[in-house]
Every structure is written in C-alpha cells, then in structure tokens.
Amino acid sequence: MKPLDAPQRALSFGSNPPLSLPLRYFLTAPLFAALAAAFLAWQGDAALLSRWSPLTLAITHLMVLGCLSMTMIGAMLQMLPVVAGIEVPRAYPVGAVVHICLCAGTLALAGGFWLGSPVLFRIAMALLLAGLMLFAGACTVAMWQYHLPGSGAVVAGIRLALAALVLTMILGGMLASAFAWPGMLQMPLQRITNLHAMWGMLGWVGLLVVGIAFQVVPMFMLTEPYPKFLTGAYSTWMFMLLGAASLSSGWSGPGELLHTAFLILLASGYALFGAATLYLLARRKRPRADPTTLFWRTAMACLLAALGVWLWPATAPSSATPLAAGVLLIGGFALSAVSGMLYKIVPFLTWYHLQDMRGASNRRPPNINQIIPERHAQWQYGAHVAGLLLLLGACYQPALVRPGAVLMCVACLGLWLNLGRAVSHHILFVPAQS
C-alpha cells in the first residue's frame, strides 16, 4: 500500500527554471569525470600508491567536486521548484556564478595537489568557498518557503544534505589552509581528512542521492514508492549517526568501541537503503531493464560492496582496501547513480521544453525515448562497467589502471555526447520559432 507521506509523482512547473540553468551543470560534469580518468591514465599506477598521494587527491576532487557535486547542484536547482514548489531566489544569476566558481575552483584545487602550489590552494579556497557558500545560502533562504504536499521526504533529504555540505566545506577549508599556508597551523590532518571524506561522500552526496531517489526512482523507473520507514525520519537518523561517528572518532578505549558501533549502524542504514532500492527495481512494472535501471542497480550493488569493504577487518595494513572502497563509492555508487539520473532528467527536461515551444514553432517534438536512443546509452553503460571493474582490480593489480582509466574516460565522454545529443534537439528546434 502506498505510504501516506510518499513523495508525489505529479510535478509543478510553475517556477521551472530556464533549461540552460541545469544543463550547464549536467553537461560540465561528464567532462570533469573524463578529465579525472584521463589524468589517471596518464599518471598510471603512481596515482594509486596511497589514498594520501597528491595525485590520488587531485583525481578524487576532480570527480567529487567537478562531476558529482556539479551534477547534484544542477539537480537541486532544477528539482526544488519542480518537485517541492520551492523557488530559489535569483536562481539564474546564482547558478551562473556558482558554476563558474565550482569549475575554476576545482581546477585550481586539483592543480594545487598536483603541483604542490600554495598559491593555487589559496585561489581554490577563495573560489570554492565563495561559490558553495552562495549556493548553500540561496538554498537555505529558499527552504523557508512552504513546500508542496508529498515532497516532505525529498525536502528533508535536501536540507540535511545541505547541512552536510556546509560541514564538508568547513573541514575542507581547514585542510586546504594547511596546504595554502604550510607550517602556520598545526592540526590533526588525518582525522580531519577522514571526517571530510565521510561528510562529503556519506553526508553531502549520500543523503542527497537518497533524497533524490525518493522522487526519481518511483517516477522515472516505474517502481512502487519507497516504504514509510525510509521516507519518514530515515534521513534525520542517518545525519545523527554521522554526527555521532564524527564526535566519537578521536575516542580511545571503550569510546573506540562506541565509535565502531556508530560506524556499523551508519553502514547498516545505507545498506538498508541500497537493499530497498534493489528490491523496488526488481519489482518494477516494466520487467525489461533500461540503461537507467541498470545504472541504479549497479550503484546500489557498489554501495553495498563499498560498505562491506569499509567495515571488513583487515588482516594486514594495506593501501588497496581504502582505494577499493573509494573506487566503489565514487566510481561505482555515486557516478553510476548520477549517470542513471541524467539519462532520465535531461531527456525529460528537453522534451518538456520542446512541448512548451510547440505552439510557436508549429513542429512536432520527438518522442521522449527518441531524444537519447537506448542503444547509445547501452554501450556507454557497458564501457562504464568495464572501466569500473578494471579500476577496482587495479587497486590490487596496478597494471590494470591504465586500461581501466581509458575505458572510464571513454564512458564519460560517451555520456557527454549522449547528453549533448539530447540538447541538440532543443537547439535545432529554436530557429523554427521565428
């Protein structure tokens, strides 16, 4: 039976932003992912020596900031007015400024890690903190507005993801300041780095994927709504567990056992979401799996695998285990979920705007399934999975890193080309209005 507070499937387009606002983010994200993969292919196994390697950190931030956060911000600017009826103040100029700051700041940060340049770290701090604070501030102001009935679970996930983004920014700013002004600040860098990664991946990215999934999975993948125990206070409990795990991270003795218990509960919570999503996808109304469904199944399987790798007790210290967990979380879970989301959101937005222009153009827009042909998405998914498997193997056999990175780069460029093909329908449609 449908839960009473399940996210609504009907959308409100009264405050729909211009198509160019989310598309600038959606079309930029795959290029950053391709750049990260190309950089990895160029550097080879030197980039996988350790999770603390400057090359590894450069590639990681190209992915997390340039691709994942880029997509998430574009999705939020689009979904808040359409799903929740919440209008972000001055969304178009805010979106344009944030996009520029995020692009330039991510490149400066990656360059700072690669070249070890304090100046680039200072530039990156200024750009990223300014852009992300502007975005978080605009969305915080918007959150004071009344949201549409049925969108409570989505809005709750977005609110908590924004809070996680702010905490991630603070921790990231502390870390960047240590590189920007070497020797001036004495901080426990390893502990702050672990907290920064946890709040970034499990808080900002994780909670936002959960919140967006509550709307996207039932609507676009034709599943039943998520059960009430997930759309209720689930996001709040996960945020509280993140806070408890953070506060207990420096404890020793019995406190260390409590910290481990918080981590197990946190992993169990995300495992519950992953298993529930796989269950809903297995019982969807269309038995044949389209590329979006395949991407989301891959994302949830990688999430479960990453949680297992993260918590599995190591028999001996090894850099392979944390690297494998990172590949599964970033390349497997987050990038797969983002790719699947883009294959539905971009064609749908393009189709909707073409329908809106139909009266002025006197032309019939293509069917939504024709905007990105399924066979093109299928081969791109195949390249993505092959590259992902090779990169996962490269954590244990470094010789696999270059072929895996090349395949992942091809997959990311294929995603960009497929999304660009969708946008070209809109561009070709515009001249007919005159």
What does the DSSP 8-state code read for residue 326?
H
Q: Indicate the pLDDT class of residue 167, thresholds 50, 70 and 90.
A: very high
Q: In 290-318, which positions are buried (b, 16+ CB within 10 angstroms) versus exposed (e)?
A: bbbbbbbbbbbbbbbbbbebbeeeeeeee
Q: Indicate the pLDDT class of residue 317, thresholds 50, 70 and 90.
A: low
Residue 220 pLDDT exceeds 50: yes
- State mean pLDDT over 177-184: 87
Q: Tell me the pLDDT tens digit for each residue of 26-81.
A: 999 999 999 999 999 999 888 887 778 899 999 999 999 999 999 999 999 988 88
What's the whole-number average pLDDT of the chain? 87
Structure tokens at 71: 């997509």
Write down the pLDDT at residue 52.
80
Q: Indicate the pLDDT class of residue 190, thresholds 50, 70 and 90.
A: confident
Alpha carbon distances (Å) from 307 to 210, 249, 263, 325: 16, 18, 10, 8
Q: Indicate the pLDDT class of residue 425, thresholds 50, 70 and 90.
A: low
Q: Tell me the pLDDT tens digit for each residue of 319-377.
A: 788 899 999 999 999 999 999 999 988 888 888 777 766 655 566 767 777 788 889 99
Write down the pLDDT at residue 361.
55
Q: Among 102-111, 216-225, 238-247, 307-316, which is the least confidently predicted range?
A: 307-316
Write down the pLDDT at residue 8.
46
Q: Indicate the pLDDT class of residue 133, thresholds 50, 70 and 90.
A: very high
How far is Cα 276 from Cα 4, in angstroms, rounded to an integer?
Answer: 18
Domain spans in the chain, listed from the N-terminal domain onward: 20-426
Domain 20-426: CATH superfamily, name plus number: Cytochrome c oxidase-like, subunit I domain (1.20.210.10)
Going by C-alpha positions, the residue among 27, 143, 38 that lies closest to residue 85 is 143
What does the DSSP 8-state code read for residue 112?
H
Q: Among 115-124, 229-238, 264-273, 349-358, which is the least confidently predicted range?
A: 349-358
Structure tokens at 377: 């998405």
% of residues, the chain, pLDDT over 70: 90
How far is Cα 378 from Cα 256, in angstroms, rounded to an integer?
Answer: 46
- State mean pLDDT over 211-234: 89
